[in-house]
Structure 1
Amino acid sequence: MEDLVVVGAGPYGLSIAAHAAAAGIGVRVLGRPMASWRDHMPDGMYLKSESWASNLSAPGGRHTLAEYCAGQGLAAEHGRPLPIGTFSAYGMWFARRAVPEVEELTVTEVTPQGDGFRIRTAEGPPLLARTVALAVGVMPFARHPGALGELPPGHYSHSTDHRDLSRFAGREVAVIGAGQAALETAALLAEGGARPCLVARRSRIDWNTVPPPLERPALEALRRPHSGLGSGWHTWVWSELPWAVRRLPAARRERIAATALGPAGAWWLRDRFERSVPVLLGHRLHRAVAVGDRTRLGLIGAAGESAVLDVSHVIAATGFHPELDRLGLLDARLRAALDTVGGGGTPELSPGFESSWPGLFFAGLLTAPSFGPSMRFVHGAGFTAGRLVKGVRRRLGALRRPAGSLGTPQPARADAGHPKTSLW
């Protein structure tokens, strides 16, 4: 039986595995390394976050993005965006140096078994593990406007469905959304010869400002401190104090996770977007109908007026909705047994990222309502990895403690409640 199986090999999964291996924990990593970045982002995209805030996490701060770039003769500078391809290559480089071999297996089911878990894959026999860390990224949680569900396949897609946008050259494409993915997708479409139009419920597009220099007068730095998610005191709190966010009431945590650091475009994208993409703001999609090989969108404006948009294809760049029920690989009865944050559908977690089911840990987007919005970004991997591995060590120690010994541990619950009993 394995000590720890990490499901997912993106920035969070690789960072957890690096800390686990350094701690002497027997760990196996299952998944395609950097899959979201390599397979689900179009050529030409850039990393929105600063390079110094986009490191995967290894003990001692080793294997940074700057170190990788230096070895490749590339510049990783403040205020200079890096291509997504460079970041993907960095993740692969990190995996080779800091992580045990990543096994490109597709996990289909995680089910409790005894004091541990059974992990089934599409490619081979099941594995048994004492602890499991689910670091599945964002792909299971892609959100589509409900109205698009009325369309036949092929008439619409999500922004994460496209590695190559060139097939839309010469075609009219509606891009739904107002965040970075929508704005950059629309700009890339226009630059590739397509005719995009951005449609958003918001009445305006928000743009991030140019980041201030790293070296500034002390008073200016105090008024607007830098952090891994941007500058300013609110952003600094979300970025640097996830442990403090977790201590807030559940309803407030949910609200922070849903609203803080909302949709906005990168400062370096603004000119490219505004000179090439028409916009239809303040309009809500309420109906979508296929008319032959084209798609007719019914929109409602802020004042209740109707509008119709006829396009060749619709791309929903409408983000992700973290919800346990959308995590199909986790056994349904186990999902239903987990404590959740407030009235939402995300797991309530201990300080060590352990759920109410002992030995089951979460990382990434699903943890944002517990630890705040930094968990939506690569930057959050640095906070997560070390603490989660400490939680794993505590769980492994509890399993190995002789039965009947003093101090028999309780499950690492956020509310220190009663232990869960087996469902089987």
Structure 2
Amino acid sequence: MCDATVVGAGPYGLSVAAHLRGLGVGYRIIGNPMESWKSKMPKGMLLKSAGFASNLSDPEQAFTLRQFCIEHGIPYDHLNLPIPLETFSAYGVAFQKRWVPDVEDEELVSLIPAPEGFDLSMKSGLSFRTRKVVIATGLTYFRHIPELLSRLPSDRLSHAADVHDLHRFRGQRVAVLGSGASAIDIAVLLNEAQVDVQLISRKPTIMYSGRWGGSGSHPVLRRLALPVSGIGPGWKHRLFADWPWLFRYLPENYRLEMAETFPAPSAGEPMKERAASIPLLVGRSPQEARLSERGIQLRLLSMDGDTQVVETDHIIAATGYKADVRRFPFLGSSIVEQLRLVGKTPRLSANFESSIPGLYFVGQVSTTTFGPVMRFVFGTDFTSRTISRHLASLRPRTWRESPHRSAGQCRSTASTSSVRECLRTLTLNQPREVNR
């Protein structure tokens, strides 16, 4: 019997496991560390988040992105230096090796309620029982592709999360659908790779978020007008970033709206100049997509009612993600039917626990409970500290802490400093200001 199992080894899963390890809670973590960041997202893209808001969370707040960059001689700035995808991916892997060295590269295929917990089965055939489960699979199962595109063959259609090597599109005509950061980044990188690309957006204009440090000659007035937060500049951003525990007390309809629409899609300011030469078709909504002898014919409807047909060889849908608990392939219908929902996501307690005792959800799927910050890496600190303290407090005397063991047995890193670590995390879980 394992005390707790974390499913997923991205920023949220690794941060939760690091805190469980620091508090001496016996745990297992399954997944491929930073897999989506390393092998799915487009090479060359830039994070829209600022440097100070792109840290994974460890119990001592010791291994930040800044510390990683210092150790490896990589340029870094808290606010106004864009972070390459490759830098962040390497940082995440280094974090895993330092704080969560016992990740098991397994894929969960079945999670079934059992006496005192859950039975977990892996694709490899491994199975074990655990008292608590933390689902931290990120965006893996939530890719959204509009229905009108769903009938296109897979060699003609890609989601933005599955176009790691953009050079494979050389010699093709590519249409990128979307208006957010991923759409702009992909279109820019395709254009710079000498691919015939055009960007299509239903929105009438492409928005750029501006530099996190803002502009203007008076820094005090600038910070008053647009205070910096972990998810972007502005008072609303600051509220949602620093007080996620407050979000769950807001009216449900408002929470659903904010989880879906805030912050509005926008590209990072550093991409604005690089995107200037990309052909744009804005204010046009796709209505039909069908194969033809010359590729794909995409019929567009403009805001004034005119139609236009665009021919392309491949479509990249940078159309975001839609969290839906029914899309977790390892959750059986018996579990899904028992979950109380907010929209299509689990209704969670103040400790991220669902209506099924012992089953927790973090990351994108927790946005309707804790707000938009859960779509950002910045949300890992609040999440991991909250869950780890909660699980440590629930640990009964029958949960025996044990040293590291071989694969297939529960891990624990209990030490004589566990109590001190717990007290320290209580004091550290406060909104942090950046030295600007």
Q: Please, what TM-score do these two structures have when normalized by structure 2?
A: 0.88
Partner secondary structure for residue 87 of structure 2: helix
Q: Which residue of 2 aligns with 1:186?
A: 187
In structure 1, list runs of 5 or more residues that go unmatched: 401-424
Q: Which residue of 2 aligns with 1:378?
A: 377
1:124 shift after superposition = 2.9
Q: Which residue of 2 aligns with 1:135?
A: 136
- Identity level (%): 38
Q: Which residue of 2 aligns with 1:39?
A: 39
Instruction: Indicate if the aligned counterparts of 2:41 and 2:161 stay in contact, CA closer than 8 A.
Output: yes
Q: Which residue of 1 aligns with 2:389?
A: 390
Aligned counterparts of 2:275 and 2:350: Cα–Cα separation in 1: 41
Alignment pair present for 1:199 and 2:200: yes
1:339-381 per-position Cα deviation (integer Å, ceiling 9, x unaligned): 111xx11001011100010000011000001000000011111
1:37-77 per-position Cα deviation (integer Å, ceiling 9, x unaligned): 00111111112111111000011212111111100011211
Instruction: Indicate if the aligned counterparts of 2:214 and 2:226 stay in contact, CA closer than 8 A.
Output: no
1:393 shift after superposition = 2.9
Q: Which has the higher contact order (CA 8 A, sep 6+)?
A: 2
Aligned counterparts of 2:101 and 2:341: Cα–Cα separation in 1: 32
1:390 shift after superposition = 2.4
Instruction: Indicate if the aligned counterparts of 1:359 and 1:392 stay in contact, CA closer than 8 A.
Output: no
Alignment pair present for 1:20 and 2:23: no
Q: How many residues are matched?
A: 397
Aligned counterparts of 2:391 and 2:294: Cα–Cα separation in 1: 52
Aligned counterparts of 1:107 and 1:167: Cα–Cα separation in 2: 31
Q: Which residue of 2 aligns with 1:125?
A: 126
Aligned counterparts of 2:128 and 2:306: Cα–Cα separation in 1: 57
Instruction: Indicate if the aligned counterparts of 2:9 and 2:32 stay in contact, CA closer than 8 A.
Output: yes
1:296-321 per-position Cα deviation (integer Å, ceiling 9, x unaligned): 11111112221111001000000000
Partner secondary structure for residue 143 of structure 1: coil
The amino acid of 1:380's aligned partner reads G
Listed as ranges, the matches of 1:21-420 within 5 Å are: 21-77=21-77, 78-212=79-213, 217-275=219-277, 277-292=278-293, 294-341=295-342, 344-397=343-396
Aligned counterparts of 1:273 and 1:117: Cα–Cα separation in 2: 49
1:395 shift after superposition = 4.3
1:153 shift after superposition = 2.4
The amino acid of 1:240's aligned partner reads D
1:170 shift after superposition = 2.4
The amino acid of 2:7's aligned partner reads V
In structure 2, list runs of 5 or more residues that go unmatched: 400-436
Alpha-carbon distance change, 356 to 192 in structure 1, aligned in 2, over 3 angstroms:
same
Aligned counterparts of 1:55 and 1:216: Cα–Cα separation in 2: 29
Aligned counterparts of 1:291 and 1:230: Cα–Cα separation in 2: 43
The amino acid of 2:81's aligned partner reads R
Aligned counterparts of 2:272 and 2:387: Cα–Cα separation in 1: 38
1:272-304 per-position Cα deviation (integer Å, ceiling 9, x unaligned): 0122x1111111111110113611111111122
Partner secondary structure for residue 46 of structure 2: coil
1:94-145 per-position Cα deviation (integer Å, ceiling 9, x unaligned): 1111114111101111111112011111113212100000000102000001
1:174 shift after superposition = 0.6
Aligned counterparts of 2:157 and 2:125: Cα–Cα separation in 1: 34
The amino acid of 1:326's aligned partner reads R
Partner secondary structure for residue 175 of structure 1: strand
The amino acid of 1:123's aligned partner reads S
Instruction: Indicate if the aligned counterparts of 1:282 and 1:302 stay in contact, CA closer than 8 A.
Output: yes
Instruction: Indicate if the aligned counterparts of 1:109 and 1:329 stay in contact, CA closer than 8 A.
Output: yes
1:242 shift after superposition = 0.5
Q: Which residue of 2 aligns with 1:409?
A: none
1:221 shift after superposition = 2.3
Range with greater deviation from structure 2 (261-270 or 96-105): 96-105
Partner secondary structure for residue 95 of structure 1: helix
The amino acid of 1:346's aligned partner reads T
Aligned counterparts of 2:314 and 2:323: Cα–Cα separation in 1: 26
Range with greater deviation from structure 2 (174-183 or 247-256): 247-256
Instruction: Indicate if the aligned counterparts of 1:130 and 1:396 stay in contact, CA closer than 8 A.
Output: no
Alpha-carbon distance change, 116 to 291 in structure 1, aligned in 2, over 3 angstroms:
same
Aligned counterparts of 1:82 and 1:284: Cα–Cα separation in 2: 32
Aligned counterparts of 1:399 and 1:137: Cα–Cα separation in 2: 32
Range with greater deviation from structure 2 (209-218 or 114-123): 209-218
Aligned counterparts of 2:309 and 2:66: Cα–Cα separation in 1: 48
Partner secondary structure for residue 25 of structure 1: coil
1:140-178 per-position Cα deviation (integer Å, ceiling 9, x unaligned): 000001111121221111011111010111211010100
1:322-351 per-position Cα deviation (integer Å, ceiling 9, x unaligned): 01011111122201210111xx11001011
Q: Which residue of 2 aligns with 1:406?
A: none
Aligned counterparts of 1:29 and 1:233: Cα–Cα separation in 2: 36
